[in-house]
Amino acid sequence: MSKVKISGDKYAWLMAVSISTGTSHGLKPMEANPLGGVRSKYPGPRAQISRDRSLTWWRRILPIIASHRLTFITSIVLSFVSLVFQTLVPNMLNHAITGIQTHSTGLHFEVIQIIVVGVLAGVTGIISRQYVYYTAYNVEADLRSLIYEHLTWLSFSFYDRVQSGQLISRANSDIRSVQMYSTFAPLIIVQSSIGILAFGFMLSIDPVLALIAMTIMPAMYFIGIRMRRVLFPISWITQARLAEVATIVDENINGVRVVKSFAQEEAEVNRLADAAERVAWAYVKDAQFRGKWSPWVQNLPQVGLALVLVFGGWMVYDGHLGIGAILAFNAYLLMLQAPFMMLGQLVMMGQRAKASAERIFEVLDESPDIVERPGAFDLENVKGALDFNHVRFEYANGAQILTDFDAHVSAGETVAIVGRTGSGKSTIARLLTRFYDVSDGAVCVDGIDVRDATLESLRANVGVVLDEPFLFSISIAENIAYGKPDATYDAIEAAARAANAHEFIERLPEGYDTVVGERGYTLSGGQRQRIAIARTLLVNPPVLVLDDATSAIDVHVEAGIYEALSTLLARRTTIVIAHRISTIALASRVILIDEGRVVATGTHEELLATTPLYAEVLAQTTREDE
């Protein structure tokens, strides 16, 4: 899998979900929703895939299909019944012609029988298709829900190295390939059983002629084996290159403002065209292989038909076989052609499904790095005392961020953390919420190691407002109430007022019911940040982290926010990750970090007077802000 760092937007989305819902394992089911009625709870997939990696891919998928066994078995049984009715018709035709020749039965009676059997075959076939499509789409929904559910379980380290387009491709085209084969392959196999029934009737008509017709079967078997070997690699390449196209499209949509800012539209079009050409090459190769082998599968049965016509015609001419028998025999031979054609299609579908399944398993077999310890317990009655005990942290790529970060924040205290860019300020917030785990040392809340607490309770008690807030394409009220969907309008408005967002929201065409554009880009950066602050304040966590949360807000608006926040911060422990002096003024104490460790602590005035590095960092960040 491609090991490429994902975009900042995706980080924002993941953090928004994890923080606002208080969980890292999927969107929390919402019961009451005062903004739009009651949101239904999704019961989830009926089964999970097998975790036994030694099993073949289809056996790992089997539990999903088995969870829909009632409709699936019904479709299989009805399909088989329909085929039985179909195979009866040529034999009935043989008897009818023989009866006409010998005047032993009435024509109308035979015609009525054939019509009845034909109607029964059609009805059972229609019902069978209804059930198989019902099963297929439900299996697809379960697979898609499984992969999304698993993605929400995975840790941030996974998203550090996987391209979002690769995940989108696996959750769409790959799942569709697996679904089609998993549900339709058994049906095709059952339909191929018509060949067995037809061959049985052929034996009953004339065993020698039946064996002559089947002489091409060994050749068909070896062609099928060869097709399977050549189609799997190209199927894998095709799916992988489709994922590359999805990645490029996803990056261009997410980064459209960057593309346009640097006038790189033509370059990106060329980049996509190159990827599309690689996909086209894979499709052409796939078509070449199909064109080479499919005609053999489809036309070899014609050789059997020719042999039957030669030998059967001679037997009819010699008087050993009746006209009705040879007509029935030819009808059964035509029925045998369908299984041969389906066999080729089955092999092609199977190789693409196998390639897609293995790509899906690459994701589903990933395990989260951040898991709850056995015996983890909920944090209750959190006061907000925070301890960072000689914390060391490095990312999976080996980049060391914190070397010996040691700090204490008292319950109810507001502390500002200041440092150069890349000094590890934001990493502190990610360790506090266990988006990552420390490499050494410990992070504690009220003396409890965060690794001993349940993830849901930890993130419900620690709220983080990011410097790049993510908004969903829903109304402003729903965005604010995202972490607390049962909140009343009064509570939503109060949170918006506290974040100094109420006035600009009221000026929007539909007020709080205004639907923001994708990622909230129809709003300004400052407006998005104020809504993100309101979203976190509504949850009312006892510990609040403002991760440069007002960096995109005008200084005058920022002053209004801080004035509203001042009373709220007095009742909770707050870590302010900041570089503006106005933001630092919120804190009663400042912690200065450099090269991953605390180098000084004190009030703003004390550090200005005693620590030259502090003034240097403030001057640098001020220049960057300008």
pLDDT given for residue 18 in this prediction = 45
Q: Is the dihedral of CA 278, 281, 287, 292 positive or negative?
A: negative
CA dihedral 450, 453, 455, 460 (to 10 degrees): -90
Dist CA 165 CA 171 (whole Å)? 10
**pLDDT value for 560:** 61
DSSP track, 536-558: HHHH--SEEEEESTTTTS-HHHH
Strand-pair category, 386-394 with 440-445: antiparallel
pLDDT in tens, 595-613: 889 999 999 888 988 988 8
Distance, in Å, from the CA atom of 236 to the CA atom of 229, rounded to the nearest integer, reads 12
Find out whether 84 and 130 touch, Cβ atoms under 8 Å.
Answer: no
Per-residue pLDDT of 374-423, as tens digits, reads 888 999 888 989 999 999 998 877 778 898 999 999 998 989 999 888 78
CB-facing half-sphere around the CA of 291: CA atoms within 13 A: 6
Q: Set out the domains of the chain in order of their start, with CATH numbers.
A: 25-364 (1.20.1560.10), 386-625 (3.40.50.300)
**Contacts (Cβ under 8 Å, ≥6 apart) of 272:** 245, 248, 249, 252
Please report, for residues 8, 83, 119, the alpha-carbon distance to residue 112 in angstroms, rounded to integers and kept in the order given: 71, 19, 11
Give the model's pLDDT for residue 23. Answer: 41
Task: Spell out, as residue ranges, where the chain has pLDDT lower than 70.
Answer: 1-44, 95, 98-108, 165, 220-221, 224-225, 228, 232, 250-263, 297-299, 301, 316, 319, 336-345, 518-521, 549-568, 570, 621-626
- The pTM is what? 0.66
* Rounded Cα–Cα distance for residues 263 and 257 (Å): 10
CA 384, CA 411: separation in Å to the nearest integer? 4
